[in-house]
Amino acid sequence: MLLALSAATSTTASADVTTLTFLDQNNNPLPWVVLRYRTPAQERSPRPVGTPAEFVVDQRNKRFTPLVSSVPIGATVRFPNSDDIRHHVYSFSEGNAFERKLYRADDAEPVAFNTEGIVAMGCNIHDNMQAFVLVTNRPTWISDEHGVITLPEAFDADTVELWHPLLNGEGSFVPPPATIGEGNTISLPLQWRDPQTPRSQGDLENLLKRFSGETS
């Protein structure tokens, strides 16, 4: 499979680039699409030049910020609490499980992620809060709020895979679609919604009814 990625290239002072725009099934911009090389053959150093030795996933307004991050293997991540309430951050992800019990401000010890994979995290107090850290030494890009990823022109589309928190909750990457649309747009079979939006009382009641029906 080879994607035609040359149609939307533009020349800058430093290099030619390719722009991809990801859309959901309703043609809305799709943020937080992760695109990376499929094999470890293309790797970055554990601490690429110009990147911090320590990464940050903040907690503001009962949300993790950012929702999706990418860090090299062995990187250290801090989880500051910028809210005026306590949070309890944890993950059960294999190889990167951790727990930081109820804390305020910057009281939690940083976490070192030493195993490649997707770390799914939550807050034990606020069930709407979730975030994902991709731990990998492969070159990785994440789409912005407009669904856009900008890539080097030399990028080989036949060697990549992608993931999105609403596309595959198990954390498996999938090949990109075999074709793309006009303007280098790629549509994915999901409907974008903010995964950290607090559930309404109605949503909770519907979940309770569904659960009761499944277990009766």
Give residues with Cβ within 8 angstroms of 82, minimum separation 6: 58, 59, 60
**Residues 48 and 130 occupy one common structural domain:** yes
Instruction: Say yes or no: 57 and 131 in one domain.
Output: yes
Answer whether residue 121 is part of any domain.
yes
> Is residue 146 located within the same domain as residue 182?
yes
**Strands 111-112 and 76-78, how do they pair?**
antiparallel
Co-location of 34 and 24 in the same domain: yes
The answer on 129 and 54 residing in a single domain is yes
pLDDT digits 0-9 by tens, 118-171: 999 999 888 889 999 999 998 899 999 999 999 876 566 678 899 999 987 667
In a domain, residue 216? The reply is no
**Does the residue 195 lie in any domain?**
yes
Range of the domain at 66: 44-137
- As given in the structure block, the two tokens for residue 26 are 């309703």
The domain boundary residue, chosen from 92, 120, 137? 137
Tell which wins on pLDDT, 15 or 183: 183
Tokens of residue 170, six digits: 């198990």
What's the total number of domains in the chain?
Answer: 2
Q: Please indicate, yes or no, whether residues 117 and 184 belong to a single structural domain of this protein.
A: no
Six-digit token pair at 127? 């069930």
- pLDDT tens readout for residues 82-121: 999 999 999 999 999 999 998 899 899 999 999 999 999 9
Q: Is 11 part of a structural domain of the chain?
A: yes
Confidence (pLDDT) at 215: 38
State the pLDDT at residue 176: 83
The CATH code of the domain that includes 119 is 2.60.40.420
Short-list 182, 177, 150, CA closest to 1 = 177
- Residue 177 domain-assigned (yes or no): yes
Residue finishing a domain among 114, 137, 160 = 137
Residue 65 pLDDT exceeds 90: yes
Tokens found for residue 114: 């030493």
Q: Are 109 and 100 in contact (CB under 8 A)?
A: yes
Domain boundary among 137, 158, 173: 137
